[in-house]
Structure 1
Amino acid sequence: MTEAAPAQTVPLGVSRPELRVTDLPTPEEVFSVSRIGPKELFMFAIGPSLIALGISIGSGEWLLGPQAVGQYGFVGVGWVIVVSALLQTFYNVECARYVMATGEVPVVGWGRVPPGRLLWIPLSVFVVIFAFIAGGWAASAGQGLFALVNGRVATAAEAQATRWYAIGLLVVVFLITAAARKISRALELSNWVMVGAILGVLLVVDLIVVPWSVWWEGIRGFITPAAPPAGISATQLGALAGFTALASGLNWYVMGHYRDKGYGMGYRAGFLSGMRGERRELLASGVTFPDDEANAGRWRRWYRLLMVDMWGVFFIGAMLGMLLPTILMSHAVALSGQKPTTANVPTFVAGALRPEYGTGMFYLMLVMGVLILFSTQLGIFEAMVRVVTDATHATSPRIRALIEDDPRRFYYPFMLVLLVVIAVILHLAVPVALVQWSANMSNLGALIYPFLLLYLNSRLPKAARPRWWHKVILVLNFLFFGFFFVNFIADTFGDPLVTF
């Protein structure tokens, strides 16, 4: 009896095991269909973009964008939204490129960049937790749910009650993941429902109540380069840039869902199964494909699916998700004669439309607000748990042995611990102030991760490597979002670099 030949491996970077080499699967193999047509595309291939979009249409699109437009108008604000969305979508594609080519999620891949995993993996986990643990996304959802249940906006004396609603929604997130057979699939299905309802209802409401002049003003603001309006702060503008579309330099923390969806080599690496699902193997290190014509052809097919998912769903959805709430906010400001503040922006539209359009519109807008903010809460809370789980499982043989190589045994207890920590932090500041903090901290990632991507993606199999202009756009991410972060730090601890 002859021994089996050892599996072929290739090095990538430093301080992590070499990547095992095997063929790319076909999309038909992954999704168990005979061909990928339009029906199969929507039923099986589209998904990670919806999870990202569910997070996107929340803190930026329902809170920060409408607040900025409500206070300062469209011109000088809209172009920041468009540039941010374009840069972030390109950045998302580059993050997903690495996941598809190696089956490794970004937080694990960063450990391959010199000086290695002892720096980049713990730092990346810290940055994600530090950016999002403030819980502004949860607190805002609690405000909306309080208003929906009680039929009115909470007063300052009732802030504690809104926090309990926020904590209750965190528990709902835990229950959704606990009931799942496959966690990513449960998030996809939830966001199909929520994002579809949000965009559909907002489009109908805007067509009915928003004057065409306001529609045109919003569209014109998106395509008109102009100086930022006088009075807007560096923190507000940086927060708007950071949380338009997703989370600027930290978008990678959601792109790991392409692994769990089975895109490219993610199919070979495994996924996080839910509490009710069967135990599935999740590789601690990635897998890549050989440089040959057959695999290059399969790669091009996967890349086209990624383009549809990112540009056809995420980018278009993010732009609609920003346009529809902001023009509605502009109309609400005109009707009420007031402007939104950081304290009341989660429920401002509902309250402003009520006198003109009745109680039914008030409750409809509150339902939309809760759906929008809960979709963000669902995605962010789960992603923080996922990032820590993936990082721990990939880098610690001792913990893998302790949990018997079943990531669920780490994932769910850590989610409960994080729930308690966020519940405490919710008491520290008003929701939108917390969201602005998170958004500007997201811009910090743009100073770091574009360069890590440049290192990793330039070492992928030739068919998967980015073109030169992809690299230029990563540098533009660094310059655009990095500027806003530096300005935010200067503004926080002294004088901003620029004033408007």
Structure 2
Amino acid sequence: MTHPLGVSRPDLTVADLPTPEEVFNVARIGPKELVKYAVGPSLIALGISIGSGEWLLGPLNVGQYGFVGVGWVILVSALLQTFYNVECSRYVLATGETPVVGWGRVPPGWFLWVPLSVLVVIFAFIAGGWAASAGQGVYALVHGTIAPAGAEEPRLWAIALLVLVFVIAASARRISRALELANWVMVGAILLGLLAIDLFVVPFSLWWEGIRGFFTPAAPPAGITATQLGALAGFTALASGLNWYVMGHYRDKGYGMGFRAGFISGLRGGRKEILASGVTFPDDERNRGLWRRWYRLLLTDMWGVFFVGAMLGMLLPTILMAQAVALSGEKPTRANVPTFVAAALGDEYGRALFYVALALGVLILFSTQLGIFEAMVRVTTDAAHATSPRLRALIEGDPRRFYYPFMLVLLVIISIVIHLALPVGLVEWSANLSNLGALIYPFMLIYLNSKLPRPARPRPWHYVILILNFLFFGFFFVNFVADTFGAPLVTF
């Protein structure tokens, strides 16, 4: 049996959904098993999320303009992006195909959408602002002082961290699992560390102001630019229209039909092939029940872990930044925002807190660096492997033979690019390019998900929310383009 879906790609083969117990090798999925085995892909996305947006752009904008008029943008962005993540992941669970491969089923076909999607992701993130910002934090940790403007050493530290990402991926048995475990440690340490510092230094009035800012609709504050606000919207939670580039981890985790499709193993793992085309399930009573179970696990992972973590990840750094501004009497700039909080806390409370804040900042930015760098390599590997029979023959069906050489090539390119601009300027560029994806991919998702087996298809109101993603993030991208090449459509 096969299930036709879209154009220019083979029909999906049909097989039964596995049970969650079969995938995770447990007798039942209780609370303990849920945390230990089933939750995970959202942590990789969350590790990326609590970084460029939450540690750099959110605190930068709040530090300069306050909470009101900025906070509601954060909340709306997080809600829309989490819903968008669920819809991207729905396709992965139902077909075992990663989104970049699925785009090849949308007319006119893979020859347009697959290479274009790879180029959009690489072009958006290859600027490496996330890597350069982490390098600034490491420099301050090593030397006990903020790096001077234009210093070379922070960039060398950024390159060293890229090499560390390669080492982590190379030493893994199963790359997605290694990323999950790393993010369990990093995200847990980040949120607990930020909570402890905030409880120690931030007055209750600022906590309330930060929370109230999320729920207070107001015009953007005077002076903020379309580029700044669009970057904040784009990198709150994850990467707006380009969030799909991380959702392929549900395949590697074994969610739904991803269990039938395979995964990318590390150099220490055994040789593992990935299906060049996807597989889906029949519409019968047994599979309808299993689909509902998998979908509930997906909702738990996304709303219970990703959304909650993303909101905490934005609240805790932004109120800390607001307190740092109050303590220092200064406002952060694009040049000093990666280390601004640490410097202000160090001046007020001593060197110990300076180093603690710096270490948290480095951890936050490295978790972003780990997820983005690996995901660029993963997206390109999945796309090349699925669409090129010649490549599959050349690598003898082993994706690692493409994955690791390409990672080294990308490492060299990013090492060059990060010398070209201020880290936060690079991050703002990436965030606004992420909003470009919102003009394209919601409609492609509507096309694909409407053709899934009936139990997996979204309800009509899901399509409405995908259109809201298009309107909200698309507006910021159009305004960014107008602002870059002339006058913005809207000024604040």
Cα shift at 1:281: 1.9
Which one of 17, 20, 40 corresponds to residue 27 of structure 1?
20
The aligned counterpart of 2:94 is: 101
Indicate the SS of the match to 1:20.
Answer: strand
Structure 1 Cα separation of the partners of residues 347 and 52 of structure 2:
26
Q: Deviation of residue 380 (structure 1)?
A: 0.1
1:46 alignment partner in structure 2 = 39
Would you say 1:91 and 2:84 are equivalent positions? yes
> Which among 435, 446, 470 is matched to residue 443 of structure 1?
435
**In the TM superposition, what are the counterparts of 1:136-285 in structure 2 within 5 Å?**
136-157=129-150, 159-285=151-277
Give the Cα separation in 2 of the matches to 1:43 and 1:420. 36
| 1:392 corresponds to 2:384 | yes
Secondary structure of residue in 1 paired with 2:97: coil
Post-superposition Cα deviations, 1:11-55, rounded to whole Å, max 9, x if no partner, equal 100000010000000000000000000000000000000000000
Q: Which residue of 2 aligns with 1:368?
A: 360
Q: Deviations over 1:309-332 (max 9, x none)?
A: 000000000000000000000000
Please name the residue that 2:119 is paired with.
Answer: 126
Equivalence for 1:482:
474
Question: Residues 432-452 of structure 1, C-alpha deviation per residue, up to 9 Å, x if partnerless?
Answer: 000000000000000000000
- Give the Cα–Cα distance (whole angstroms) in 1 for the partners of residues 206 and 485 of structure 2: 38
- Amino-acid identity (%): 80
> Structure 1, unaligned stretches of length 5 or more?
1-7
SS at match of 1:342: coil
Q: Tell me which residue corresponds to 2:459.
A: 467
Kindly state the Cα deviation for residue 267 of structure 1 after the two structures are TM-superposed. Answer: 0.2
Equivalence for 1:5 = none
Map 1:299-314; keep pairs closer than 5 Å: 299-314=291-306
Code of the aligned partner of 1:378: L
In structure 2, C-alpha distance between the alignment counterparts of 1:149 and 1:477, rounded to whole Å: 42
The residue matched to 2:13 in structure 1 has which SS?
strand
| Structure 1 outlier segments of 4+, above 6 Å | none
Whether the 8 Å contact between 2:273 and 2:399 is mirrored in structure 1 is no
1:58 aligns with 2:42: no
Cα deviation for residue 208 of structure 1 reads 1.2
Equivalent-residue separation in structure 1 for 2:77 and 2:3 (angstroms): 36
1:113 corresponds to:
106
* C-alpha RMSD of matched pairs (Å): 0.4
The Cα of 1:356 is off from its aligned counterpart by 1.2
1:98-133 CA-to-partner distances (Å, cap 9, x unmatched) read 000000000000000000001000100000000000
Distance in 1 between residues matched to 2:359 and 2:23, nearest whole Å: 37
Question: What is the correspondence of 1:306-325 to structure 2 with a 5 Å cutoff?
Answer: 306-325=298-317
Match of 1:328 among 317, 320, 337: 320
3-state SS of paired residue (2:223): coil
1:49 is paired with a residue of what secondary structure? Answer: helix
**Cα distance in 2 between the residues matched to 1:284 and 1:175:** 27
- Counterparts of 2:349 and 2:256, CA distance in 1: 50
Equivalent AA in structure 1 for residue 83 of structure 2: F
Q: Distance in 2 between matches of 1:228 and 1:281?
A: 50
Separation in 1, partners of 2:142, 2:370: 20
1:295 counterpart letter in structure 2: N
Superposition map of 1:278-297 within 5 A: 278-297=270-289
SS at match of 1:251: helix
How far the C-alpha of 1:283 sits from its partner, in A, is 0.4
Q: How many residues align?
A: 492
Q: In structure 1, what is the Cα distance between the partners aligned to 2:178 and 2:187?
A: 14
Does residue 406 in structure 1 map to residue 401 in structure 2?
no
Which blocks of at least 5 consecutive residues in structure 2 are unaligned? none
Q: Which letter does structure 2 place at the counterpart of 1:355? A: D
Task: Tell me by how many angstroms 1:204 deviates.
Answer: 1.1
Show CA shifts across 1:34-82 (max 9, x none).
0000000000000000000000000000000000000000000000000
Q: Which residue of 1 aligns with 2:347?
A: 355
Q: Distance in 1 between matches of 2:78 and 2:428?
A: 17
| 1:114 counterpart letter in structure 2 | P
TM-score, normalised to structure 1, is 0.98
Is contact 2:175-2:266 (8 Å) kept?
Answer: yes
Instruction: State the distance in 2 between where 1:446 and 1:10 align.
Output: 28
Normalised to the residue count of structure 2, the TM-score between the two structures is: 1.00
Name the CA distance, whole Å, in 2 between partners of 1:192 and 1:121: 31
